[in-house]
């Protein structure tokens, strides 16, 4: 089977779908790998490293796309590139399927099996392929690093002959994968950390990282069977905002990570909460690509509020640590292929009844097969 790694087309994308180490592992399994010239450059992997790992460097992107059995990339392809794929090919990438019905139709029409990385089930079995988690973990880390860099003070407490500096206060809103890593990073950097989530079950996790869980009584909230947060009522949102305004006003860095899977991000930090924050404080909105958790955050911009905080809206923060983000994503892709690799036929076995495949295969054999997108 022929695997092709094209250069990412999205302008600010720095990651690459396969790094040389995974190329070597795939070639050992028996697949051949083609990499478009320069595909790894933005994540610091040279063509020569890919060649050494056994890949063929190609320059004719259209030809490689039309001949590949498996195309792997980070971001979704353009409609035009879907039409170039060969019938029966496998396409593995993030697809943003809830907002891309036209793209899904195009995959179906071309007879391509489209795998959506964000739809890999969040189960123990599929953990090694879970790219949402591997990338959110790095985004959570970098949100704190970025916030600390833009802050006008230090994070840890310092006792010096010149006086004592109190630790900065970090408030993390949303304690999923990114939020937990943000808490851990801020703690490691010496900050005093508080966190809030609508799912009460995370309180223990917050405490185990040495942070304080902010308790706001919202009545019945809970989570879905999949572990995602349920949408709040208007009254619950108001209660939450009142409770959080005080914490925001005391904080030096606020990191928001609350996404609602497949839906626009909830607006949690209101303009009153923003203007109530200290001059020189920082908000990092990790949900900015889904519309943002913070009123006033703008994608890929830093907004300075007069006499207030600066709001950082950099999208896909994991891309700022591209070496490790690519390494983790590449591992997720390799693990996916390896898991379904059938050595006897030297093919990737696609049993759509499989619990992982039934979650993430969107189109197959000319039609949309995923229940949620049919």
Q: Which residues are catalytic?
A: 122, 127, 130, 133, 228
Closest approach of ligand NAD to the CB of residue 139, in Å = 10
Paired tokens of 244: 């959080």
Rank residues 112 and 202 by Cβ distance to ligand NAD and give the closer one: 202
Rank residues 55 and 95 by Cβ distance to ligand NAD and give the closer one: 95
Rank residues 85 and 283 by Cβ distance to ligand NAD and give the closer one: 283
Closest approach of ligand NAD to the CB of residue 307, in Å = 27
Paired tokens of 68: 């590949």
Residue 181 · residue 137 · CB < 8 Å: yes
Give residues in contact with ligand NAD (CB under 6 A).
Answer: 122-124, 127, 130, 132-133, 136, 173-179, 196-199, 227-229, 232, 257-261, 266, 268
Q: Which of 134, 150, 132 is nearest to 255 (CA)?
A: 150
Strand ranges (E), the chain:
2-5, 32-36, 56-58, 70-72, 90-93, 113-116, 158-160, 163-165, 169-173, 192-196, 212-213, 253-256, 282-285, 302-304, 310-312, 341-342, 347-348, 361-364, 367-368
Closest approach of ligand NAD to the CB of residue 342, in Å = 25
Rank residues 297 and 364 by Cβ distance to ligand NAD and give the closer one: 297
Residue with tokens 């992982």: 356
Q: Which of 312, 308, 245 is nearest to 278 (CA)?
A: 308
List all residues 6 or more positions away from 234 whose beta carbon is below 8 Å from its beta carbon. none
Closest approach of ligand NAD to the CB of residue 188, in Å = 20
């Amino acid at each position: 089977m022929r695997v092709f790694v094209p250069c990412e087309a999205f302008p600010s994308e720095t990651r690459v779908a396969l790094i040389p180490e995974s190329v070597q592992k795939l070639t050992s399994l028996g697949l051949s790998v083609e990499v478009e010239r320069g595909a790894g450059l933005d994540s610091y992997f040279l063509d020569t490293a890919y060649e050494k790992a056994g890949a063929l460097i190609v320059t004719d992107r259209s030809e490689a796309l039309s001949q590949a059995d498996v195309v792997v990339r980070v971001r979704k392809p353009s409609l035009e590139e879907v039409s170039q794929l060969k019938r029966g090919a496998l396409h593995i990438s993030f697809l943003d399927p809830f907002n891309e019905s036209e793209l899904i139709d195009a995959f179906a029409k071309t007879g391509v099996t489209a795998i959506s990385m964000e739809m890999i089930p969040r189960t123990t079995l599929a953990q090694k392929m879970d790219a949402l988690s591997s990338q959110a973990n790095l985004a959570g880390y970098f949100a704190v690093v970025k916030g600390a860099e833009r802050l006008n003070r230090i994070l840890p407490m310092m006792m010096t002959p010149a006086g004592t500096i109190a630790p900065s206060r970090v408030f993390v809103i949303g304690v999923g994968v990114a939020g937990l890593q943000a808490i851990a990073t801020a703690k490691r950097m010496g900050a005093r950390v508080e966190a809030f989530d609508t799912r009460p079950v995370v309180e223990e996790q917050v405490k185990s990282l040495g942070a304080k869980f902010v308790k706001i009584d919202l009545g019945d909230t809970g989570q879905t069977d999949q572990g995602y947060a349920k949408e709040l009522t208007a009254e619950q949102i108001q209660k939450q905002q009142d409770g959080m305004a005080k914490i925001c006003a005391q904080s030096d860095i606020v990191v928001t990570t609350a996404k609602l899977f497949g839906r626009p991000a909830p607006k949690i930090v209101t303009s009153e909460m923003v203007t109530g924050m200290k001059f020189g404080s920082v908000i990092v909105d990790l949900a900015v690509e889904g519309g943002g958790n913070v009123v006033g955050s703008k994608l890929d911009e830093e907004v300075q509020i007069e006499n207030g905080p600066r709001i950082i809206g950099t999208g896909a923060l994991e891309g700022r640590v591209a070496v490790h983000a690519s390494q983790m994503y590449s591992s997720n892709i390799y693990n996916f292929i390896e898991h379904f690799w059938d050595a006897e036929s030297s093919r990737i076995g696609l049993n759509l009844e499989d619990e992982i495949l039934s979650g993430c295969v969107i189109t197959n054999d000319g039609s949309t097969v995923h229940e949620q997108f049919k």
